[in-house]
Structure 1
Amino acid sequence: MSRAVLIAALGFSLFAGCGGPKSSPEGTVKSFYSTIESQDWLDLAEMVDADSLSKSGGPQRVAAFYYSIFQDVRDIDLTIEEALVQVPNQQAAVKFKCTATFRALGEMPYDRDCSDILPLRWRDGKWYIVVPGTGGLRPSL
């Protein structure tokens, strides 16, 4: 294998491993918003809890929900404030500060607050996002 092909393959594997659910609630939230920032709408579904996906109508509906909110996003600045594992390795909530910079075609960029508290569920060694309105009570920290 040539050196250029090897370097390209290593670079791709590094970036391919960046998305998806993580072993920490904070990591999953960061990965989720990074995926939104890169506008990989269908890749969001792999970070959403299976029950939440089912109650939302499937991966395409979840992608459409987040697309409708973040379709013109160009940059997201996210800082985790607090993470609380509510039931050991079952449920968690992550509170974060978030500013999204939007820029629609032909418009000037503007910032909007996207700070929130997201609930997560633990499955198969990773944390998954619970879509708002599909998981019972809203978490509070």
Structure 2
Amino acid sequence: MSRAVMTAALGLFLCTGCGGPKSTPDGTVKSFYSAIESEDWKELPEMIDPDSIQKSGGPGRVSAFYYSIFQDVRNIDLSIEESLVQRPNEEAAVKFKCTATFRALGQMPHDKDCSDILALRWHDGKWYIVVPGTGGLRPKL
């Protein structure tokens, strides 16, 4: 097998499974905002807590909610400030700094602060984001 084919195959292998929920709370938050930055609206519900999806009206409504907020985002600069597992294998909170560069059609780019604290829940060995207003959790750090 040629070197170019092997390099391409390795790259594809390494990127497989890059999205979706992770085994750490901060990993899920990074993956979530990476999906937003790449405009992968269908992948977002895969990282949302199943109870939140049900209370929000399904995966399509969750995607539409985040699309309405971030549809004009061209770049996201995110750094985790603190990640705290509040109850092992149950609940966590992630505090992060975030700046999103928005650029709507016909407008100049401008930055907005998207820093937040997100609550997460543990399911099947991975952490899922709780949509604000659907979980009853109040993340505290």
Give yes or no for TM over 0.5. yes
Q: TM-score range by the shorter chain?
A: over 0.9
Any conservation in 1 of the 2:119–2:137 contact (CA below 8 Å)? no
Q: Paired residue for 2:62?
A: 62
Aligned residues: 141
Whole-Å separation in 2 of the counterparts to 1:22 and 1:74: 24
Any conservation in 1 of the 2:119–2:138 contact (CA below 8 Å)? yes
Displacement of 1:137 in angstroms is: 3.5
Q: Paired residue for 2:106?
A: 106
Displacement of 1:7 in angstroms is: 3.3
Tell me the amino acid that sits aligned with residue 47 of structure 2: M
Q: Paired residue for 2:75?
A: 75
Whole-Å separation in 2 of the counterparts to 1:41 and 1:16: 18
Any conservation in 1 of the 2:32–2:47 contact (CA below 8 Å)? yes
What does the per-residue CA deviation read over 1:18-71, in whole Å, with 9 as the maximum and x for residues that have no partner? 111111001000000001000000100110111111111111100000000000
Q: Paired residue for 1:27?
A: 27
Question: What is the DSSP-based 3-state SS (H/G/I as helix, E as strand, rest coil) of the residue aligned with 1:105?
Answer: coil
Displacement of 1:5 in angstroms is: 4.3
State the TM-score, normalizing by the size of structure 1: 0.94
State the TM-score, normalizing by the size of structure 2: 0.94
Instruction: For 1:1-141, list aligned pairs within 5 A.
Output: 4-141=4-141
Unaligned runs of 5+ in 1: none
Whole-Å separation in 2 of the counterparts to 1:43 and 1:14: 18
- Root-mean-square deviation over aligned CA pairs: 1.3
Whole-Å separation in 2 of the counterparts to 1:88 and 1:113: 30
Displacement of 1:83 in angstroms is: 1.0
